[in-house]
Each structure stands twice: as C-alpha cells, then as structure tokens.
Structure 1
Amino acid sequence: MKQILTFLTTTLFLTAVHAQTLKTGVWRGGLQRTDGNEIAFNFDVKQVQGKSVFIIHNAAERLEVKDISFDGDSCFINMPFFESQFRLKVVNNGELAGLWIRGSSSKNLVVPFKAVYGSTERYPVTSRPSYNVTGKWATSFLSTDGNEQAIAELVQKGQKLTGTFLTATGDYRYLEGVVNKDSLQMSGFDGGHAYYFSAKIKDAKHLSDGVFVSGPVYKQSWTAERNDTATLPRNEAAMYVNPGEDKLDFTFTDLDGKKVSINDTRFKNKVVVIQIMGSWCPNCMDETAFLSRFYDKNKNRGIEMIALAYEYSEDLQRSQKSLLKFQQRFNVQYPILITGVKASDTLRTQKTLPQLTPIKTFPSTVFIGKDGKVKKIDTGFNGPGTGVHYDEYKKEFNKIIDELLINAER
C-alpha cells in the first residue's frame, strides 16, 4: 500500500506581475553532484484549488509538498521537514534549475538541482537486465575505519528496482531505480536526505564496485553477496542503564513552553515510552508516524509517551519551529520536549539523561514500567520501507508493551 505523507502548511504568494506557473504532469529532478553521481527522483505537479502541489515519488512512498511560492521567474519550494528548501528559476520553456539548500548543525548544505518536464525515467535504461537481483543481500560498506555490515532487501520487476538497505541502527528508507544490463542504480529523496546507490552485477550472487553517495560530498564503496539467511551483527550502538541507576529523572520544555517532568502525575503508574529523536532524522520521522498511531489507539490502556528532541541547534525557537511541523504532520498527542542540547554534542547524554550510557544512534527508545524503572532500551528503527522487517518490529514493540502491562498487574 502506498504511503502518502500529506504536509498541511500551504502558502502561495504571486508577488510579481509576470509570476510563473509550473506545468502539471510528471517531472524528473536531479541533484547535481560535482563527481557526476546524480541523485535523481521523480515527482508530479498538480494544481489543487489553483495552487501548485509537488508529489515526490520514492518506490511506494508519496511525499506531498504544498508550501510553494513564486516571485517573477523564481520558484521557492519549502520542504515540510528537515529545514530544506529548493530555490529555483523557471527556464527553458518551464523547466527548473537552481539549488537545493538544507540546514544542518553547522553550515547549510547546498547542491545544484535541475528538473525536466515530461520524463518518467529515474535513470536511463539501454539494455535488458542480465540478472534478477530480487532477494536478500549481505552487504559491506567499506571504510578504512572498518567495514559496516548491512542487509540489502531488493525487489526487481523487469527493469524496475525497489528496496532499501538495513543497518544495525536503521534503514535508508524507500529507494527506487533500475537494472540496466549488468548494473543497478537506486536513489531516494525525502526532502532532507538524498541517497544514490550503484553497483555492477558481477553474477547472480555477487554485486561489486558499489558506490554510495549522500548529499553534496559524501561517498563510500560497497559490495554485496546474495544470502537469504543474512543477519545483522550485534548492535554496537546499544544503550544501557548505568550501574546503580534504574530510573530516569528529567524536566524539559514542551512545544508550548511548559515544563514537563518524567516525575509528573501524568506518568505515575503508567507504562511510559521515551522516544529519543530529532526532527532532522529520517528514521525518527518514520518512528514518529508509528508511535503516534500506536499512542492514539492504546493510550487508554495505561500507556504514556514522551519524545525528547535533540536538534541541530541550541536555539529554542529554531528547534520549536522544526518540531511543530513534526507534531502537526503526525498529529502527535504525546509531549515533544526540547532538550536544548544539540544532537552533535558529544556530552548530550550526560547533559540530559545521565542515568544512561551514551546515546549513539537516533532514534532510540526507552521502555519504563509502571514502577518507574527502565525495563528495556531499543536503538535504531526499521521503517516501512523495510517490508517484513518493519512488520517484525511492530510485533516486537507490541509484545514489549503487552508484557509490561501484564507484569504490572501481577
């Protein structure tokens, strides 16, 4: 079932006499890296009540973007998350060219962008596939600091390829691409994160010469071997409660400026789920969607949730603006608290949750029993783009909650 993320903030200002309109229909966009590895994605433009709407395609996912404005021959597309924006010019009979700009903890990331109207391809295909790569692949991302093990889950239908890569701490969300003779290409763009993967299909069981790029400059090599029983290594990003500790103790400000504490009456004698997250984190976005739905259905069972946000900046207003988009988009009814500590701060755990060993990955999830004691900590998240792995995660999450509720009644 296709996932449709609908972003509700809508602005359209026509501030020039010769304000442009965008052609409705299919487009192909591409982020133009200097090394020639283009991060491509497809999108539709529709007119809804006289306003332009972008719908970005990533495999089964559809990302709807409504915050679009025009000024003369310029077009500004504000992505709903990740402090991300396109600044474009309408050129060449309605085509688009300009920049993709995304905020970060330091300076903005900037990548040239262009889009062509009427193109339905993600990447060109010139020859029929020599192999079918559908299946599970044990993958190694290569680095001088040590290789990272991952699993590629791929589905090939003719020349079309979809799938994702899972690591011990999360996944690369929805990827889409093609198989062209003995090579593959896949990409994904969610408004804040841009990924491209390519590889040679050496034979039916081996992928070689893999290239992974992200954003404007990051690049890494990878290889893979078909393995239907592949598993991920033990999660080295695991978190624990420090010796001598069993309860958390924190107070932070919510998005309305009110102080909220884990010791508040609201959370007494409840099973409490603590979500360690950030609005910049793509897996946190998927986890928030899941947790929000779960909370709505289960809050009357004696369950509470709290999100602790670690953002790009210590600027509370900047953090609040980004987190409000999360809250509104996913209709989050549990408190989202601003820790005021940057996600990149190496002392983030000591400053906020000193009872725990260091936070090494986002998201992480802390399960607290009705007695107020930490019972379990999970790190990472397998999102809906991982298929069966996402289903397994949901089953395990429900099992943990049910056990905590049952044990509390004994």
Structure 2
Amino acid sequence: MSRFPLRIAPALAALFLIAVAVASCVFVQDRYTFLPPGPYRGVLELEYNPIVPNPKGEPIAEKVNLEFDEVTEGQLPFTFDVVYETDTTFHLVIHNGEEEIVVPAKDIQAGRDQSVGRDTLRIDFPVYDTHISAYHEENVIEGVWVVHYRDNYRIPFKAYFGKDFRFTPLQKPPAADLSGQWAVTFAGDATEDPYPGVAEFRQEGNKLTGTIRTETGDYRYLEGTVQANKAYLSVFDGSHAFLFEALIRDDGSLTGTFRSGRHYITDWTAVRDDDAELTSPDELTRLREDVPLAFAFPDVNGDTLRLEDLQGPKIVQLFGTWCPNCRDETNFLQEYLANNDTGDLQVVALAFERYGATDERSRAAVRRYQENMGVGWPVLLAASNDKREASRALPMLNKVISYPTLLFVDRDNRVVRIHTGFNGPATSKYAAFKESFDETIEELISGK
C-alpha cells in the first residue's frame, strides 16, 4: 500500500516529471561549454565625430546637428550566428545583406582567464590581419577589434546574445521607398577631392540593402533600415567597417555621413538617377607608350620571377591581401579557371602590402592569403600599397589608381586591356564584367 494518499501521488509524479524535464533542458544547454548557440547583435563603438562644416565651402544647413535617434550615436552594428560543430567547437556566420561570411573554428580561440575568472574569446580574420579579442560573461561579449596594420588601432566591440536586429527593432513607417539607383557624391576630406559613386538600393518595408559603386571598387554588401525620414546602412567583414547615415530630405534627395572605422568620416549626398554612370573601368588606367611592360619581383621565398619567365597569354593582377574587393576578384578568377578551358593562360599576382615589399609581415600576410584562399598561381611582393610607390614600381602605367587592377597581356607581352577596380557580386555590373572578361580571355587564347 502506498505511503501517500492517492490524490497526492499523481501530484508528486507530475512534479517528478517536471524536474526530469527541467534537468534535461539544463543538460542540453550545458552541452555547449562556451558561447550559447544562436543569433548575436555585434556593435563596434566608433569614436564620436560630429558633423562639421565643409572645409572646402559653405556648410549645408541640413547636415549640421543631424540627430539619429533610432540608433546610438557612433555605433556600427552587424549580426552573426554562433553555430556549434561539436559540443566544444563552433564557427561564426557574419551576415551582411545577402552575404554570409563563415569564420571557421580554426580561427576562433576560446578559453578561460584564471586571473580574473572570465571566459576569453579571440576571433581572427587572418586574410585581413585583424582580430577581435574579448571576454564573455552572461550572454554578453565585450572587447576590442584590433587592426594590426594600423598603429594602436582598436575599436571597442560588444555583442549581445539573442538579438537578431541590426540597427533597431523599431518599424517607423518609411518616408520613402529608396529602391533604385542613385547618383552619389562623397565630399572627401582634407586630403582628397569630392568623388562620385552610384548607389544601388533595395527596400522591403523598413529593411534596406544594396551597395555603392565607386571608380575604385564597390562597398560590397550593405544592410540597414529606413526609419521615418532617416536611413542607416553598415557592413563589417573583418576588414571593412563602414557606417552610412542619411536624412531623406523633402525633395527626396539624401544627405548624411559616411564613416570607415574610426579613421575616416565624410559627408555624402545622393539624388535619384537611373542613368547615373561612372567612368568606364577600362579607361581609368593607361599604358605609357614609351615604357614597355616589364617586372621582376620576388615571391615569399625570395625567388624572383620576371614577366618574360611566363609563357603564353597572361593575367597580371594588382592586389593587396588587405583588400576585400581583391578577395572578391580572386574568388572570381579561381572559379573562372576551374570551370573553363583556358589553355596555356597564366595568372600572376603582384601584391602591394601595407608593410612594403621587404617586411616579413608582408611575406606572412601573403602566405596566409595563399593558404586561406587556396591561390594556385604565383604571388609576388611588388611594393607598398601607397599608390605613389606602386606607380614607381610599375612605371609603364600612367598611375596605379585602384586595387585590384587587372592587366590582360598577350603572348608577346603586349597589354591589350587594363581593367581598374572591381564591380563584385553585390553590384548590378557583375554579370556584364564576367561576360566581357570571358570575351577578352577568348581573344587572348586564340591570338586574335
């Protein structure tokens, strides 16, 4: 006979089942020994930079004292997921619009700082020579994003578990639909003149995505929101840390600020223009008639390779390991070579690194790039990424304008085409570039 009244026994049984269920839930959660799996909202805390009058002219009234009350001033947000592969190893997936960037488990170090009794986290972006170093406690990650190639360049970083919005959870009715093409003017700073761009935006409700093309490359995958008469866009990919803020004016135009990390800020304006065009990328860099194409640069092992050592038609890529547009172009080249019969076509890349051609840090950066990207063609250390020094290293060009730049060279080492910059997969021009690239390669191989 039971020791408990019959009416009590079912209650105890129910309590027992609840306890088992709770214990099971706790056990499942405890499987993950570090970060909880799921979505996070990351934030880079940029230094506050108030909008100031244009040093080259009169201030624009609408730009002065703009307030962006939907977001915290100077915050650059992005989202990512923590995805576990085993109970103890995980990778990250960073989201920027349509792009998903996987940070593999091998580039993530998780541990415990016994001196302070806190969990530690290091996330490396080896291709770009940057990393995030942080502590983790109670569903919050807090630390800094460190850029190694800039002196003492550290931006405070925080991330919050369970938050999957980018700028704000608010959904204020947008004052306008920004979908379409826009002619953009960047004001520049004290060291540069104003420069043009073409924005390609897509808006669905409050969500805003797209990119901005310039004559030196595109700003890749931007993502953000439109709240009433204000718009926000950002991207973080381990190298780029871009933040755009804009006011939608009564006449439908845009005016605001563009920040790159904490080292650059400028004003920008935009007007709708379906016919907006930039200078053709095939017309920006020219070959000097009095200087033939020639080069001789070392690889990471110190072995020198000359242009004349390469037989057949050639693609010469001017790039930097620090450059996301260059990475996009390298991905394209790899895919093209893997899927097309290119005969005796050869590819050689000339690296223009922040530390110069002779510094061991440059050699290490190129080695990492070759390993992480799986680059199968020769990569040579040409010069510093300073464009004046790059132009001296390649005196046959009128000037080096952009990384990347492609030189298409025939069997007799004559340059038949120079393509400056790269309109990557985030842009509407990518399909046209692929088509023209294929036509040029066919002409090089056939010798026509």
Query: Fold match, TM over 0.5?
Result: yes
Q: Residue 354 in 1 paired to residue 395 in 2? A: yes
Q: Residue 136 in 1 paired to residue 181 in 2? A: yes
Match of 2:157 in 1: 113
Identify unmatched segments of 5+ residues in structure 2.
1-31, 49-72, 113-118
| Residue 204 to residue 401, structure 1, CA distance change in 2 (3 Å) | farther
Match of 2:115 in 1: none
Q: Which moved more, 1:132-141 or 1:371-380?
A: 371-380
Match of 2:20 in 1: none
8 Å CA contact 2:171–2:206 kept in 1: the answer is: no
8 Å CA contact 2:408–2:417 kept in 1: the answer is: yes
What is the CA–CA distance in structure 1 between the aligned matches of 2:416 and 2:75, rounded to whole Å? 45
Cα displacement (A) at 1:257: 4.3
| Residue correspondences, number | 380
Q: Residue 54 in 1 paired to residue 92 in 2? A: yes
Match of 1:41 in 2: 78
SS of equivalent to 2:426: helix
| Residue 236 to residue 332, structure 1, CA distance change in 2 (3 Å) | closer
Q: Which amino acid in structure 2 is aligned with residue 63 of structure 1?
A: I
Match of 1:6 in 2: none
Q: Which moved more, 1:231-240 or 1:300-309?
A: 231-240
Q: Select which of 169, 189, 201 maps to 2:216.
A: 169
Q: Select which of 391, 400, 408 maps to 2:440.
A: 400
Cα displacement (A) at 1:132: 1.0
Q: Which amino acid in structure 2 is aligned with residue 64 of structure 1?
A: V
Q: Deviations over 1:284-325 (max 9, x none)?
A: 111111112222334642311100001111354322322233
8 Å CA contact 1:276–1:363 kept in 2: the answer is: yes
Match of 2:132 in 1: 86
8 Å CA contact 1:292–1:330 kept in 2: the answer is: no
SS of equivalent to 1:42: strand
Q: Which amino acid in structure 1 is aligned with residue 39 of structure 2?
A: V
Match of 2:199 in 1: 152
Q: Deviations over 1:383-406 (max 9, x none)?
A: 1111x2111111111122222333
Give TM-score scaled by structure 2 length. Answer: 0.80
Match of 1:63 in 2: 101
Q: Which structure would you say has the larger Rg?
A: 2
Superposed CA RMSD in Å reads 2.1
8 Å CA contact 2:342–2:445 kept in 1: the answer is: no
What is the CA–CA distance in structure 2 between the aligned matches of 1:143 and 1:342, rounded to whole Å? 23
Match of 1:207 in 2: 254
| Residue 185 to residue 237, structure 1, CA distance change in 2 (3 Å) | farther
SS of equivalent to 1:153: strand
Identify unmatched segments of 5+ residues in structure 1.
1-18
| Residue 20 to residue 112, structure 1, CA distance change in 2 (3 Å) | farther
Q: Deviations over 1:119-163 (max 9, x none)?
A: 111011241222211100011111365321110000011111110
**Shift >4 Å, 4+ stretches:** 234-237
Q: Which amino acid in structure 2 is aligned with residue 99 of structure 1?
A: V
Give TM-score scaled by structure 1 length. Answer: 0.87
Q: How do 1:6-17 and structure 2 match up within 5 A?
A: none
Q: Which amino acid in structure 1 is aligned with residue 410 of structure 2?
A: G
SS of equivalent to 2:249: strand
Match of 2:38 in 1: 25
Q: Which amino acid in structure 1 is aligned with residue 418 of structure 2?
A: I
Match of 1:100 in 2: 145
Cα displacement (A) at 1:329: 3.1
Q: Residue 322 in 1 paired to residue 365 in 2? A: yes
Match of 1:197 in 2: 244
